[in-house]
Each structure stands twice: as structure tokens, then as C-alpha cells.
Structure 1
Amino acid sequence: MEKFVCIHGHFYQPPRENPWLEAIEVQDSAYPYHDWNERITAECYGPNGTARIFDMEGRIVDITNNYSKMSFNFGPTLLDWMQKERPRPYESIIEADRLSMERFGGHGSAMAQVYNHMILPLGNTADKYTQIRWGVRDFETRFGRKPEGMWLAETAVDLESLDLMAEQGLKFTILAPNQASRVRHLQSDDWQDVSGSTIDPTTAYKIVLPSGREIALFFYDGPISRAIAFERLLIKGEILADRLMGAFSEERQRPQLVNIATDGESYGHHHKYGDMALAYAMKALEENPSVQLTNYSKFLAENPPEYQVEIYENSSWSCVHGVERWRSDCGCNSGGYPSWNQSWRTPLREALDWLRDAVAGPFEKTAGKLLKDPTAARNDYIDIILDRSDDSVNEFLSRHAKSDFSYENRVNFFKLMELQRHAMLMYTSCGWFFDELSGIETVQVIQYAGRVVQLATELFGDSFRDPFLDLLEQAKSNIPEHADGKNIYLEWVEPTILDLGKVAAHYAISSIFEEFGEETSINAYSATRQHFNMSQAGRAKLAVGEVEVTSKITAESDKFCFGVVHLGDHNISCGIEQCIQGPAFDQLVEEIINPFSAADFPETIRILDKNFGDSPFSLTSLFRDEQRKVLKLILQPTLDEAHAAYSALYEHHALLMRFLHGSGTPQPKELVMMTNIVLNTRLRAALENDRLDIQNIELLLEEARLAGVQPDAPTLAYVLGDTMESLADALLEEPENLETAEKLENAATALRVLPFEVNTWKIQNTCFTILKEHYSGMLDKAKKGDEEAQEWVRLLCSVAEKLLIRVPQ
């Protein structure tokens, strides 16, 4: 009897991009990281690509790629973000599939996923097909092969979706044990009831679909999977390995597959160090001669199904009521607010269904004038999403366009396709998963709907917004001040809707604070400077110019003139108008500059208002990240002044604060706040310096202790980690640079001094690579009397000791 283990991780985050910028804006709840994708990558996705193996002394002896030994799927929209923003973890995922093909007889461990995590049973047939098609095509482009399996969002399943998957060449998917209804051996007509999660999960099953096609199904081990997610099974790798081995039965004489499936975020994000527990468990299983690690594809190829299964349609792994969590107040929620209800789920879905169906007819009619087959073009549009280059677009149009496209037709084509893309993005499952209509995930799907409304209005006329808002009004928030979906749309979504004029205003205001070249990229837009004049009078600045703004997504382009005046602090007035040509523009520039040069600011603003329509744009018109950056510049002098005042007060009262803390006397809040700000600011400055003064850091920490102040651990840990990562990267670039090695060794010393933990994952990875590639060579030089090599060896051994890395022998 052969024994096999397969561990599957479903790695996924909902798309978080602003639908108009195609970029994730700052998310304060992810602090100290920029956004949740960045944070979870640091805690989970990156660590699993570089997982640690420790010796008995707790030192790193090897770094391994967990993905290469397990089964996994990544959401396509998440991989798109990682490829752009975190290329190293992304490459480790792609490399893992190649390594797994070598390990598992040509069968890669990566699985595809329906494109944007739509609950397929609740979608229409067209969306189901496109979601599968886009997921397959995205996979092929990234991994360079056809996928054998596909993950269904929330394992939500119906027969039509399985049939469409089989039609597109997919061989299997994974379901929860509660989704199986009955089974029979292929050599028998007797069906056995396996409801209530009683199906045997240690083998593959086939399901016969309405068309006569077939697809294989695996059912994961429910108790072990739940224990990973909710019962601290990842506290030690040995415990996980033992639990997996305990799932085999000596009574089964056929090959057995113990397989588990959980959210991949369990391994490092939900459970700290879960990635290391997983690495150790898989190492233990590899070293156990009685069992083999495998993946679903390899097991299926070697062990074709001997049983047929029937399933419960419209079922899932995360809702005991089927798929009701994504369309009704079924009772499934996060549990944080018992008094809340989720009755908003039904009207939200009904509103989106109405919008989807309302734009479908006009889409077919309008697209039919431009394209040979609008549906086929929509299904192939993933090729442009993956590659928006001119060559890719031209190749696509050569296949699908009825004739050569004018500028207007080209723009309309892109808008039609983007309308369809966002009409699917608005069904991303996370919009219904949680408790409250105003939650970040639900607002995100309403934003996608806002983009659909905007594009439909531009393409077909204004007949969508008001009926859509009437339907959204039926979705009631649990929080009185948010009222309902209509109010949320008007307050939070509509103000974020962009057009080219608003992008031009962003460019104009930003030009006051940073110097742009002729071509500037602004997320999903490009700005080409035509004319630009900057004047300054004391602290005040004036910029007048002309810019052409082009959408990288729809190819829509327009030229704008702008005037913007900054009178200091947050006082900014900006106006935008359609471009004024020739001498009229030069005259306008002169008319504005003359009063500004004379410091006649009221007249300057009057002329701006006269020529640019009451200057409606201000600092709030900046996109969120740029707004934060500009505000930081504006606030810096004020903050410097405040810090200087706080520092003076602190120096005067430091001994008093120590006395109060030491005597147990309550400290005045005003003085506590002052001391906190001063000492944490000084600590941050010390940790940002690439030549850390350890003695000064120790003195500051002692001052904080004596004054009863807690260091700002999240911020300070992030700052030191960033400093060390920069030093480690610099040493990797120039491995023999003694000055950098000395700085890194000094910075590593701070790890022993600080009273909180620093995420050294990237630093350990880089230093492990340096040691692996250069240590033996430098050691040889050192043994031959090379003094610089001797110092390098000493420094790197010290770094290795502090980072818990075993030096190569």
C-alpha cells in the first residue's frame, strides 16, 4: 500500500486597486506597510518562497521554496500585483512550479484559479466561461504551460461550471468533503450516501457532467484542514507531520492520498511562523520512507478514479448554507458584531445583477459594429490585460476587428472591453463575505460598479446611474451614519471617479512640489508636458502650463491648460480648461504672471478664476498617495518646529519625568505625550542612519525606560528592517565591500539591543545568499594571509551569528 501526502494552499487577496488608477492606494489599516498586499507578502508570500530549515541550535542551515513541494494556486489579480511590485517573491512562485515539475514527474504543482474570485454558481453562463478562460490564459502566460487543475472561488460549485472547466481542458478541481452527496465504484451500480462529510478523501473521484464530459474531483481532509486554520496545528511542524501521517488507514489496500487544503495565508500571516512549520513538516515527510509528497496532477495521472461521485450543487467550503453567504443574510459572518445583520447582501447583488444585465444589450449592439464576435473578443481580452503593448493590441485587433480602427473607435473598443472587465470585478466574492456594507471589501466592489456606470454612460448615454442608485438604496448599513448603499456610493465612490481633466489637475498641483520631465507616468495615465512656466514670490508659487493626458487603459487622450497657485501650507487653487491654442495661451500666461510677480495674490486668483472656471481643484484633488507625500512636505517645517519645542521642554523636564515614573506617581498626560514624541523621533532618526550608533540607541532606550515611555515598536522595527535590507542589498551588489559589511554588522548588533522583534526575513535571505556564494572563496583568501579577506570573514561570521545563520563549512 502506497501512501501519499498533498498539501494545498489557496493563496489569494481580493483586487484592491483603485479602478481608475489601476493601483493600490495607501491603506492605513495595514500600517506600517503601505497596503495589505504589501503586508501579507512580507508575512506570508515571500517567506514561503524562502522558508527556513534550522539545526538543533536554532540556526538557519538551508532556505527552501515551500511552493515547490506543495500544491498551490494564486489569484491572478494578486500575481499581477506581485509581478509589478514584489518581483522576487513572484519569481519564487514561478520557479516553484518549474521545480515541482522536476520533482513530480513533469506535473507542476501550480493550479489555475477563476480570474477574480467570482462565486461561479451565482454568475451567468457568459461570466462563468470568461472567468475560467481568463484564469487559464493568465496561468499559461505566467507559468508557460497549460494548467491541469483549477481552484474555484470558495470551492463554490455547480455542474455548469464544472462542465465549462472540462470543456476548456481542465482535468480536476478540489472540493470540501461536505460537498459530496453520494459515490459508487465504477464496477458497481450501488450508490453510497456520503453526505455529512463522510466521503473518503484519500482518493480521486470522477463526476459525469450534463454534456457527457467528465472531470476529476478531490475532496480535502476536513478535520486536518480545519485544525490548521483554527486549532493551532501549525504551532510545530512535527505536530502537523504526525497529524498527516495519522490520517492513513491500514484497512485501505489501494494507494492513499492524504490531502489538505486551506487558505495559504495560514502559513505566515494568520499564524506567525506557519511557513516554518510547513517547511519542517514537509522535510519530515520527505525523510520518512513510508510516505511520498506529491501533487494532485501526479497522483491523478498514476491513480485514475475508481469511483464516481455526485455533488451538492451550489455548495462551498465556507458557508454551511451553500452559497447563501454571497447573496443573503444566511447567518454566516465574521462574528465580530453579533447585533449586526447582513440583509444588505441581497439588494447589493440584485443591484449589481441589474447593472450587469442593463449594459449587456447596449454592449452587444455597440460592440457588434466594431467586432466580428463581441463575446469571443471579450473572452480573448485577457491577452490585452496581460500585455497592453501596441504590438499586443494590434495583433488582437487583427483577429477581432471588422476594419481598421479610427482613434474614436479604438477608444470605444477599449471602453467596451473595460466595461466588461469591471462588470466581472464587481462580483469579487469578498464584497459579500464580511459583516458590513461599508467594509473596505464591499466598497471596493461598489467602486467597480461605479466604473461600469461611468463607462456605460460615456458609451451608451446616461440611463444607468439613477436606477442603480435606487436599487443600492435598498441595501442598509448596520452603521447609522452610513445609511445605505446609495449614500455610500455618493459619499465614497462618486468622489473617486476620475476623468482626464481630474488627472490633469493632479498633474498641475503635483508640479508645484516636484519636477516633471517631458513624459510623466501617473499610474494608469501618462502626461506629456507641452508648455510649463513656474514663478515664485516668497513662499508662494505659481505654475501655468499645458499638458496632454492619455489613459494607458482606454487610449483616450486630451489636452488641458492649467493654472495653479500655492500660497503656503495647504492653500492651493488650481483650474483646468480645454487647451487654449497659440498666442491666446501666451497672453494668458502673461496675464497671470504679472500680478503674481507683484505679490498681488488676490488678483492672481481672480484671473485664475476668470480663465479656469472658479479654480475648483485643491489639495484634496490629489490622488491619495501623492496627497500624503505633498502634505508631508507641507507639514515638515511645522513638525520640525514642534519637535524643537518638544525637545526643549523634554530636556527641561526629563529628570522630573524619571522621578514621577520611578516613584509610581501618575505622570501628566501632556508630559507623557511630549516625552513619547521626542524619544521615539530620536530613536527613528538613529535607526534610519546606515551607520548606526549603538551606544546612542542604548542610551535612548534607557531614557525611555526611565521615563516610562514605550518605544513605537511597529514603526521602529520597520525602519531598522528597511535600513538593514538596503545594506544587505548593497553588499549583495558588491560582496567584498568592507565598508558595507561593517555597516551591516553594526546594524545587526542593534537586533540584540532593541526590546522588540524585527522582521529580518529579506535580510536573512540576502545574507544567506552572500555566504553561500562568497564565503568559501573569501575564507580561502583569508587563510592565505589576505587581511581584507580576514576582516570580511570576521564581519560576515558576526552578521551570521546575529541573524541566526549557520556559516557554511
Structure 2
Amino acid sequence: MTELTMCIHGHFYQPPRENPFTGLIPPEPGAEPFENFNEKIHSECYRPNAELGNFELISFNFGPTLAHWLEAQFPVTHDRIVMSDKRHRRTFGVGNGMAQAYNHTILPLARHRDKATQIRWGIADFAHRFGHAPEGMWLPEMAADIDTLAAMQSLGLRYTLLCPHQVRDPNGDWVDSRMPHYVRLSDNRYLTVFLRDEQMSNRLAFDPGLTASAAHFADWCRDTAHTDSGLFIIATDGETFGHHQHRRQHFLRSLLRTEASRVGFQVTTPGGYLRRHSPTRDVVLVEQTAWSCAHGLARWNTGCACTSGDQRWKLRLRTAFDRLAGSVDALYENECRAWIDAPWKLRDGYINVMLGIIEGPDLLRQFSSRAIPTEATRRLLHLLEAERYCQAMYTSCGLYFEDLGRIETRNNIAYASMSVDQVKLATGLDLSPGLRSDLAAAKSWVTQETGQDIYDNVVAHRRA
């Protein structure tokens, strides 16, 4: 390895801000002069980076739910981002976009079939937008376990990005983050992992003084590298470039077009790098880890010291969601038994209905060896919608922050209520008493309201 290379990866994602019942984002205080933060971030980050051509220079993933909003509200920006990947693919023979698990679910905390659905939906959304299958996938919060990596590999993905603390050398030696590595799976399979350079990534993300000048940052990176070879991956939230740090879209353009090469770095992407350098070493995955929690995955499960206050509500909320999902799954499987040969493959395929590629009844016909009556079709489609909302209620943002009463958690509870509604439309059964009882155990340490209070509030406002 004689090249000195740099890759900037932007993780572009925002929590779904839409009211789950209307699909519209309500006015958000603090976003002024814009109606909401999505519009504000579009103006400060997504649009200027697309206009400057920065998406052609970086590796990036764009969250599917955010991309759906962007396509509807600002199609010119959406299409510029898509064209950036296409131009990069024409020039280098490989795209620079990566897929993302669809609902930004913490995959190691999900059941295996839910992991598979999230990965399949993310792949399908990417292929629909960008016109080709992805080679890599961004794991939400970089949360990883072997089951997740194996599911990714089995679905045709080649690589992902992780932090150095998430892997270890089999012999206890130092792991060189300046090269890709293999994580061995079962049956002699493997997935390639690229490792984020922690120092460069964190300084770029959190030291605005260092990024005030692209030339200064490039000089600092060259001095920090202490080598004339190797790959340095700088991975951070894409919103850093213009929103978290104002006008850093110009910094990014200057860094990758002129300053990085001036100090000796070649600019690359993970897919492009793999075309020239195959991994030669194995690493062992440190399971149940993420990039944004020092306590494994506790931030999205039992709660931890990453956030303040009484965090017991997190496990209680997750338990309520798990019980609801189990009930919905059982009803869905029971309804499928008479008509559908592979119910979970059908759910995986439902992304094509969500993307508007196919109508629901046509999808059902693809998965049934017999004609499905109209009433059974109606029930199945309602239950598939119930499954869709069950996936949405696990969006990680609802468990990331400190308080049950935040809008992200309220939206997740609203998704749960929509799943309940779809089940009732399909079967006549009302799952709300059990869900409300479970949610009552989750209590805000700030407002003292419970998950049941929030559920009743969101349902009342929907029906008002």
C-alpha cells in the first residue's frame, strides 16, 4: 500500500418530522425563517452541497425517509444528489452512494426477520432512487452485531463503515484503521469493514476553528497522518457541511478539489478503494457496539449515562413496542396462512408498494398460488400497513434522547397507534388496551406524563 488516500463520508439523515397522521411537518420553533428544520437544513446544507457538486466528491448515504421527503418537497435537489452518484459511477466504474437500513432502526436490538426487512427495504429504496444495487450500507448509529453483518452479506452487500473500537485483532494486536479488513462470518463468508479515523472525524465534526480553512485542515491532516500511505476515512454527519457548521459546504469543496491533493492525499471512496485494494487481514467484531454510545447499545435499550435523568422509560417503551409487534406478527401470519406462501418475503416486498412501484393487490398475487378474494385482499393489505408502522415505531431517534416527551418519541408512539388502527380495520380486534397498559409503565422524568398519556393525546388529536 503506497497511496495516501482520504475519504470523506457524509451520513445525511434527520429524524422523521412529519406528523404520522397527516404526513406533513408542523411549524417548528427555532427553524425561523423556515417553517421547519428540514427546510432550514435543506437551505443550509442539502441544496448548496448539491449545487456545488460536493456529492460527486464524497462517499455518502442519504436516509430513505429523508430522501422521500426531499424528493417530494425539493425534487431538484434530490435529483442532483442522484445524478452525482451516476456521474461518479460513469467516471470511476463504481457509485459513491451507500444504502441505509430503512427506518434507522438499531439493528442488533431487532429480531432477525426485522433486520432482514430493514436491510431489504434500504437496498430497494436505494436501487429505486439511484438505478443500481448498492455495494455498501450505513448501519444506523454504526450499531453492529454478527447477525446484522451476515444478513447484509447474504443480501449482496460488500462493506460497511465502523469505528476502531468496534473491532479487535484476533491475536490481540493493534488494528490498523488505515486499511479495510474482513469480518469473518459463517460458511467462509465475510464482509469488508472500513474503519473511521476517530481523530480526524471528530475534529472535523466538533472543531469549527480547524475547519475555517480547508488549507489549514488539509495541512493538519497531513501532519496528523504520520505516514505516506494508507486510507483515512473521515466520517461524520453530512449536516456538518453547512448546517451544524455554517458555510462548510465551501470548505468541503475546496478540501476535496484542491487542498487534499496539494498535501499529498488522493481522494477516494470505499467502493473505489476496494477496486484497487482487497482486505488482507481479519478482525473480530466487538458486538453490540455503536459510534454514539460508550455503553454498547444501552442508549436505545435500558438507558445509560449518555443522557441525563431517569432513563428507565426506555426499556419500558421498548417492551411495549415488542409486545405490540409480537401481536401484530401473529395476526399477520395467521391471515397469511390461507393465501400467502412466504409471509415474511411478502413483507420484504411491500417496499415496492411503499415506493409506488406496484399496487398492493398485484404484489399479493405475486406471492400467492391461488386467487385471493377481495375481502382477504383487504385484510392482508391492512395488516401489511400494520407491519409497516411497526417497523417505523422502532426509529432510533425515539430512544436516543433523554426524555419520553420529546417529539421523536411521540411520533414513534403515534406509529404504534397507527399499527393498532390498521389491525382493527383488518380483523376487528383492538390491541390498544394492552398497548396502553404497557405504555403506562414508561414515565417522563421531566413532565411526569406516561407513555399511555402520550398515546391518548396523539390519538385524540388525530380524531379531533
Q: 1:478 aligns with which of 445, 448, 452?
A: 445
Q: What residue number does 1:371 align with?
A: 340
How far off its partner does 1:360 sit?
A: 1.3
How far off its partner does 1:413 sit?
A: 2.4
Q: 1:174–1:220: 8 Å Cα contact kept in structure 2?
A: yes
Cα distance, 1:177–1:471 mapped onto 2, change above 3 Å: same
Question: Distance in 1 between the 2:418 and 2:360 partners?
Answer: 22
User: Secondary structure in 2 aligned to 1:234?
Assistant: coil
Q: Does 1:71 align with 2:59?
A: yes
Question: Distance in 1 between the 2:173 and 2:43 partners?
Answer: 45
How far off its partner does 1:417 sit?
A: 1.0
Question: Distance in 2 between the 1:320 and 1:421 partners?
Answer: 31
Q: 2:329 aligns with which of 360, 363, 371?
A: 360
Q: What residue number does 1:192 align with?
A: 172
Question: Distance in 1 between the 2:371 and 2:253 partners?
Answer: 55
Question: Distance in 1 between the 2:374 and 2:462 partners?
Answer: 23
Q: 2:396 aligns with which of 429, 435, 442?
A: 429
Equivalent residues in 2 for 1:274-293, closer than 5 Å: 274-285=248-259, 287-288=261-262, 290-293=264-267
User: Secondary structure in 2 aligned to 1:16?
Assistant: coil
Q: 1:224–1:243: 8 Å Cα contact kept in structure 2?
A: no
- For 1:237, give the aligned amino acid: A
- For 1:478, give the aligned amino acid: W
Q: What residue number does 1:760 align with?
A: none
Question: Distance in 2 between the 1:467 and 1:275 partners?
Answer: 49
Q: What residue number does 2:15 align with?
A: 14
Q: What residue number does 1:135 align with?
A: 122
Cα RMSD of the aligned pairs, angstroms, is 1.8
How far off its partner does 1:152 sit?
A: 0.1
Question: Distance in 1 between the 2:379 and 2:173 partners?
Answer: 54
- For 1:397, give the aligned amino acid: L
User: Secondary structure in 2 aligned to 1:30?
Assistant: coil
Q: What residue number does 1:99 align with?
A: 87
Equivalent residues in 2 for 1:500-519, closer than 5 Å: none
Q: What residue number does 2:245 align with?
A: 271
Q: What residue number does 1:383 align with?
A: 352
Q: Does 1:236 align with 2:244?
A: no
Q: What residue number does 1:246 align with?
A: 223
- For 2:145, give the aligned amino acid: D
Equivalent residues in 2 for 1:389-788, closer than 5 Å: 392-393=359-360, 395-480=362-447, 482-491=448-457, 493-497=458-462, 621=464
User: Secondary structure in 2 aligned to 1:13?
Assistant: coil
How far off its partner does 1:36 sit?
A: 2.0
How far off its partner does 1:439 sit?
A: 0.3
Cα distance, 1:20–1:211 mapped onto 2, change above 3 Å: farther
How far off its partner does 1:470 sit?
A: 1.4
- For 1:464, give the aligned amino acid: L
Cα distance, 1:415–1:23 mapped onto 2, change above 3 Å: farther
Question: Distance in 1 between the 2:351 and 2:400 partners?
Answer: 26
Q: What residue number does 1:714 align with?
A: none
Question: Distance in 1 between the 2:6 and 2:168 partners?
Answer: 24
Q: What residue number does 1:641 align with?
A: none
- For 1:318, give the aligned amino acid: S
Q: What residue number does 2:298 align with?
A: 324
Q: 2:287 aligns with which of 302, 313, 324?
A: 313
Cα distance, 1:413–1:111 mapped onto 2, change above 3 Å: same
- For 2:315, give the aligned amino acid: T
- For 1:218, give the aligned amino acid: F
Q: 2:203 aligns with which of 227, 231, 242?
A: 227
- For 1:181, give the aligned amino acid: R
Question: Distance in 2 between the 1:227 and 1:249 partners?
Answer: 17
Q: 2:214–2:259: 8 Å Cα contact kept in structure 1?
A: no
- For 2:272, give the aligned amino acid: K
Summarize deviations over 1:243-293 as a string: whole Å, max 9, x none: 33234333x7xx511111001111111111111111111122465283311
* TM superposition score normalised by structure 1: 0.55
Q: Does 1:145 align with 2:117?
A: no
Number of residues of Structure 1 aligned to a counterpart in Structure 2 = 462
Larger radius of gyration: 1
- For 1:263, give the aligned amino acid: D
Q: What residue number does 1:215 align with?
A: 191
Cα distance, 1:358–1:394 mapped onto 2, change above 3 Å: closer
| Unaligned segments of structure 1, at least 5 residues | 51-63, 184-190, 499-620, 622-809
How far off its partner does 1:38 sit?
A: 1.4
Cα distance, 1:392–1:451 mapped onto 2, change above 3 Å: closer
How far off its partner does 1:24 sit?
A: 2.8
Summarize deviations over 1:685-714 as a string: whole Å, max 9, x none: xxxxxxxxxxxxxxxxxxxxxxxxxxxxxx
- For 1:467, give the aligned amino acid: G
Question: Distance in 2 between the 1:321 and 1:200 partners?
Answer: 23
Summarize deviations over 1:70-120 as a string: whole Å, max 9, x none: 1000001111111111111101110110122234x2111100000110000
Cα distance, 1:273–1:193 mapped onto 2, change above 3 Å: same
Equivalent residues in 2 for 1:781-800, closer than 5 Å: none
Q: 1:6–1:260: 8 Å Cα contact kept in structure 2?
A: yes
- For 1:490, give the aligned amino acid: D
How far off its partner does 1:171 sit?
A: 0.4
Question: Distance in 2 between the 1:287 and 1:173 partners?
Answer: 25
Question: Distance in 1 between the 2:296 and 2:17 partners?
Answer: 26
Q: 2:219–2:263: 8 Å Cα contact kept in structure 1?
A: no
Summarize deviations over 1:644-667 as a string: whole Å, max 9, x none: xxxxxxxxxxxxxxxxxxxxxxxx
Equivalent residues in 2 for 1:27-46, closer than 5 Å: 27-46=28-47
User: Secondary structure in 2 aligned to 1:369?
Assistant: coil
Q: 1:234–1:278: 8 Å Cα contact kept in structure 2?
A: no
Identity within the alignment, %: 35
Question: Distance in 2 between the 1:440 and 1:150 partners?
Answer: 27
* TM superposition score normalised by structure 2: 0.95
Q: What residue number does 1:174 align with?
A: 161
- For 2:9, give the aligned amino acid: H
Q: Greater RCO between the two (CA within 8 Å, min separation 6)?
A: 2
How far off its partner does 1:29 sit?
A: 4.2
- For 1:350, give the aligned amino acid: T
User: Secondary structure in 2 aligned to 1:370?
Assistant: coil
